[in-house]
C-alpha cells in the first residue's frame, strides 16, 4: 500500500496530497457526522491527465478510489469506508471555467468548479445557470452531475441531468472519454453521458462538464404563503402554472414543524409569518417588474380561502431573507438532533393523499415519530424527514428509525414513487435500493457496473 501511495503522490506532486490526519478529517465524514471513514491519502489533481494517471495506477494495483467534490452530499457517497485502504480523489483544484458561449447558451467547466462560481460565470455574460440549492457555495458542478442534483428551480429548468450537454470522464482503467459537446441535438449512438450523471462516482470520475445556459429570467417575485392544507398548495401550484405559464420557477412546501425548527435553532433568521399555520409555500415567479399579476392571483386565492396569509418580498434583500428561512431547514433539523431522512418523489397529484396516509400510518405504527416535512413540491419531491424523541438512543433508535423508513418507503411504492428523488443512493440508501427496485433494473445496474469497472475500484460499496 505504501508503495502505491508514493506513486500516487508523485503523480500530483508536492502540496497536492494530504495524509495529515487533522487535515484529512473533514474529508472522512459527511456534513451531518453520520458516517466516519478512513483513507490512506487524499489526492488533489490539477487536471484530467493527472486523474487519468491516478486511475491507471489504481487499476493496476486494485486500489479503491472515492471521488469527492464539495462533500455536501446527503447519502455518504463521498466518504471512504473504514478499511483505511481507499484513496480520495478530491477535484477542488480543477476549478477552471473553460468556456462560456453566450450565443450558444452553453458553458464548459472543470468538474471541480463550485456551483456558485458556475452561476456567476453565466451571469457575467448575461445568462443564467439555473441549478440552485442550499449547498451551492460549497458543492461542485461535478458532484452535482454525479448525484443528478435537483434543488429549487427544477420545476422550470429541470435537474442536473436535464441541464447537461456533455461530460468528460476518466474511466476505471484511466482512459479519458472526451464527451464534452455543446450541441442541443446528437443522436450519434448511445447517449453515454447519461450513464455518468447520477452514478455517484461508481462508473467514472467526471473531470469536465458542458451545461446549458438560459436567458436571464428578469424580474423575480418571491412570496411566502400560509395555507391550511397541503391539498391547497397543490391546487395553487396548478393554478399558478396555468395562469402564469413558464413563469413559476420555484414552489416549495414547508410544514409547520419544519418552520418551527428554524425558529428554534437558527437565531438570526426572522420568520416572515407566525409559525402557527399548518403549511407554508415559498415561491419564485418570473414576471415583469410592472406586472401585478401575482398580487391579483394571490388576492383571489385569499378571497377563496385557498391562502390564509401572504408576504410578498418588496426587493431582492427581502426575497433573500425569505429564501434563508427555507435554506436553513436542514441545519435546523441537524441541530434538533438525529433525523431520519427520506428524499422521496411521488406523483404530484397523489401528494395530498400521500401526506394524509403517511401521517396516519406513522401515528398508528410508530407513534414516537415526529414528521418534519418540506420539499420541492413543484417537482413532486418531498423531504419526508422524521425525528424521534431524544431519549431514544442506540439500538432502540435504529429499530424505530427502520420502522419509520419502512412505513414511508412502502407507501412510496404504493403510490408509484421513488425512494430517492434528488440526493442519490450513496451508502445510506444502498440496501433500500436493493429492496425497492425492480430485480431486472438492479441486474442492469450491476451489468453496467461490471462492464465499466470490472475490478470494482470506483467507489466500491456505494449505490449497488
As a whole number of angstroms, the distance between CA 267 and CA 328 comes to 11
Q: Closer to ligand FAD at the Cβ: 152 or 307?
A: 152
As a whole number of angstroms, the distance between CA 168 and CA 207 comes to 5
Q: Closer to ligand 2HG at the Cβ: 40 or 420?
A: 420
Please choose which of ligand FAD, ligand 2HG, none residue 147 contacts, taking the beta carbon within 5 to 8 angstroms, the exact cut-off set by kind.
ligand FAD
Tell me whether strands 41-43 and 87-90 are parallel, antiparallel or unpaired: parallel
Please choose which of ligand 2HG, ligand FAD, none residue 68 contacts, taking the beta carbon within 5 to 8 angstroms, the exact cut-off set by kind.
ligand FAD
Contact, 68 vs 28, CB < 8 A? no
Neighbours of 452 (CB within 10 A): 18
- Work out the end-to-end distance of the chain between its first and last CA atoms, rounded to an integer number of angstroms: 26
Please choose which of ligand FAD, ligand 2HG, none residue 385 contacts, taking the beta carbon within 5 to 8 angstroms, the exact cut-off set by kind.
ligand 2HG
**DSSP assignment, residue 341?**
-
As a whole number of angstroms, the distance between CA 20 and CA 42 comes to 10
Please choose which of ligand 2HG, ligand FAD, none residue 69 contacts, taking the beta carbon within 5 to 8 angstroms, the exact cut-off set by kind.
ligand FAD
Residues within window 187-226 making contact with ligand FAD, judged by CB under 6 A: 200-201, 205-206
Q: Closer to ligand FAD at the Cβ: 77 or 179?
A: 77
State the residue number with the nearest CB to ligand FAD: 143
Percentages helix, strand, coil for the chain, rounded to the nearest 5?
40, 20, 40
Residues 103-142, mask of contacts with ligand FAD (x by CB under 6 A):
--------x---------------------xxx---xx-x
As a whole number of angstroms, the distance between CA 182 and CA 211 comes to 7
Please choose which of ligand FAD, ligand 2HG, none residue 205 contacts, taking the beta carbon within 5 to 8 angstroms, the exact cut-off set by kind.
ligand FAD
Residues 39-78, mask of contacts with ligand FAD (x by CB under 6 A):
---------------------------xxxxxxxxx--xx
Neighbours of 278 (CB within 10 A): 14
All three cell numbers of 75: 447519502
Please choose which of ligand FAD, ligand 2HG, none residue 164 contacts, taking the beta carbon within 5 to 8 angstroms, the exact cut-off set by kind.
none
**Ramachandran class of 303: left when φ > 0, alpha when ψ lies in -120 to 50, beta otherwise:** alpha
Among 80, 380, 426, 461, indicate the residue that binds ligand FAD (CB under 6 A). Answer: 426
Contact, 212 vs 158, CB < 8 A? no
**Beta carbon of residue 131, minimum distance to ligand FAD (angstroms, whole number):** 9
Residues that bind ligand FAD (CB under 6 A): 31, 66-74, 77-78, 91, 111, 133-135, 139-140, 142-144, 146-147, 149-151, 200-201, 205-206, 330, 422-423, 426, 459, 462
Amino acid at each position: 500500500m505504501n508503495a502505491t501511495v508514493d506513486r500516487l503522490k508523485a503523480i500530483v506532486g508536492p502540496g497536492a496530497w494530504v495524509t495529515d490526519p487533522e487535515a484529512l478529517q473533514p474529508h472522512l465524514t459527511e456534513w451531518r457526522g453520520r458516517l466516519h471513514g478512513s483513507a490512506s491519502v487524499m489526492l488533489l489533481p490539477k487536471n484530467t491527465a493527472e486523474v487519468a494517471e491516478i486511475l491507471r495506477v489504481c487499476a493496476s494495483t486494485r486500489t479503491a478510489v472515492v471521488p469527492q467534490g464539495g462533500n455536501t452530499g446527503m447519502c455518504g457517497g463521498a466518504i471512504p469506508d473504514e478499511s483505511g485502504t481507499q484513496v480520495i480523489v478530491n477535484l477542488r483544484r480543477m476549478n477552471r471555467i473553460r468556456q462560456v458561449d453566450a450565443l450558444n447558451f452553453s458553458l464548459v467547466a472543470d468538474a471541480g468548479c463550485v456551483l456558485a462560481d458556475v452561476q456567476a460565470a453565466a451571469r457575467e455574460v448575461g445568462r443564467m445557470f439555473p441549478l440552485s440549492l442550499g449547498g451551492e457555495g460549497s458543492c461542485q458542478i461535478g458532484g452535482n452531475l454525479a448525484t443528478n442534483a435537483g434543488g429549487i428551480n427544477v420545476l422550470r429548468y429541470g435537474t442536473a441531468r436535464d441541464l447537461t450537454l456533455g461530460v468528460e470522464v476518466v474511466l476505471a482503467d484511466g482512459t479519458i472519454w472526451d464527451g464534452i459537446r455543446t450541441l442541443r441535438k446528437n443522436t450519434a449512438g448511445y447517449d453515454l453521458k447519461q450513464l455518468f450523471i447520477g452514478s455517484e462516482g461508481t462508473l467514472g470520475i467526471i473531470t469536465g462538464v458542458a451545461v446549458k445556459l438560459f436567458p436571464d429570467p428578469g424580474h423575480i417575485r418571491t412570496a411566502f404563503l400560509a395555507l391550511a392544507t397541503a391539498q391547497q398548495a397543490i391546487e395553487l401550484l396548478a393554478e399558478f402554472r396555468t395562469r402564469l405559464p413558464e413563469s413559476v420557477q420555484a414552489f416549495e412546501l414547508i410544514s409547520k414543524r419544519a418552520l418551527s425548527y428554524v425558529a428554534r435553532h437558527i437565531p438570526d433568521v426572522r420568520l416572515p409569518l407566525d409559525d402557527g399555520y399548518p403549511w407554508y409555500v415559498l415561491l419564485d415567479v418570473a414576471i415583469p417588474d410592472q406586472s401585478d399579476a401575482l398580487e391579483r392571483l394571490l388576492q383571489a386565492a385569499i378571497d377563496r380561502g385557498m391562502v390564509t396569509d401572504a408576504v410578498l418580498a418588496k426587493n431582492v434583500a427581502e426575497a433573500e431573507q425569505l429564501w434563508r428561512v427555507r435554506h436553513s431547514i436542514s441545519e435546523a433539523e441537524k441541530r434538533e438532533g438525529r433525523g431520519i431522512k427520506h428524499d422521496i418523489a411521488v406523483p404530484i397529484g397523489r401528494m395530498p393523499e400521500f401526506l394524509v396516509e403517511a401521517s396516519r400510518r406513522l401515528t398508528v405504527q410508530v407513534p414516537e415519530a415526529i414528521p418534519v416535512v418540506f420539499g420541492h413540491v413543484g417537482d413532486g419531491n418531498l423531504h419526508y424527514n422524521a425525528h424521534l424523541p431524544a431519549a431514544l438512543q442506540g439500538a432502540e433508535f435504529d429499530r424505530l428509525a427502520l420502522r419509520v423508513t419502512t412505513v414511508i418507503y412502502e407507501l412510496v411504492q404504493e403510490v408509484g414513487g421513488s425512494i430517492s428523488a434528488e440526493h442519490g443512493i450513496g451508502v445510506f440508501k444502498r440496501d433500500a435500493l436493493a429492496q425497492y427496485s425492480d430485480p431486472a433494473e438492479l441486474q442492469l445496474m450491476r451489468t453496467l457496473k461490471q462492464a465499466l469497472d470490472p475490478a470494482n475500484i470506483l467507489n466500491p460499496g456505494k449505490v449497488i
